[in-house]
Amino acid sequence: MVLIQTEDFDAASLIAELRERAAGQAGAMVSFIGTVRDYAPNAPTQTLFLDHYPGMCQHEIESICAAARDRWDIIDTTVVHRMGALQRGEQIVFVGVIGPHRGEVFKACEYIIDALKTRAPFWKRETLQSGEQFWVGQHETDAQKTADWELEE
């Protein structure tokens, strides 16, 4: 399941739905929640505005999840990514992965979040409490993590 939405999400409900879809076949479940944090060293973040390319973004996230299911022994995945103006501390993204064994589930979850950061067409504009605004660029470390996953195939 992949959702892109402006509304906040309830992680406990998403976890329960994922477990239900696994129908008792899972021995491990991993979830990740990303939140808005301060990116700027000199002034606190006020908001992070996320925009996306509709349709293409959904398709890319579904493709990332399908690649994880093909690569690791997992049963199912859930990704919820928010868009719009989010305040510091608010939830941005939920990634949940369920499967028979913890090792495979951990790897799949980490792969999904790494690939989301570099492949999903989202744009982030940060506004500081000072009023300064800037677009958040892709970090070289994120690009390297995604490249490392591709080398492991």
Measured from the Cβ of residue 121, the count of other Cβ atoms closer than 10 Å reads 14
Please return the burial class of 115, using the count of CB atoms within 10 Å of its CB with bins 0-12, 13-18 and 19+: buried
Reported confidence tier of residue 153, pLDDT bands at 50, 70, 90 = low
Which pLDDT does position 53 carry in this prediction? 83
Residue 66, domain extent = 2-152
pLDDT score of 80? 97
Residues with Cβ within 8 Å of 27's Cβ and at least 6 positions away in sequence, in order, are 99, 100, 101, 102
pLDDT > 70: percent of the chain: 91
pLDDT band at 134 (very low <50, low <70, confident <90, very high): confident
Query: What average pLDDT does the structure give for the chain?
Result: 89
* Domain count along the chain: 1
Q: Considering only 13-22, 37-46, 117-126, 142-151, which range has the smallest mean pLDDT? A: 142-151
DSSP assignment string, 74-88: --EEEEEEE-EEEET
Per-residue pLDDT tens digits for 81-96: 999 999 989 999 999 9
Residue 57 sits in a domain of what CATH number? 3.90.1170.40
Whole-prediction pTM: 0.88
pLDDT of residue 129: 84
> Residues 54-111: pLDDT tens digits?
889 999 999 999 999 999 999 999 999 999 999 989 999 999 999 999 999 999 999 9
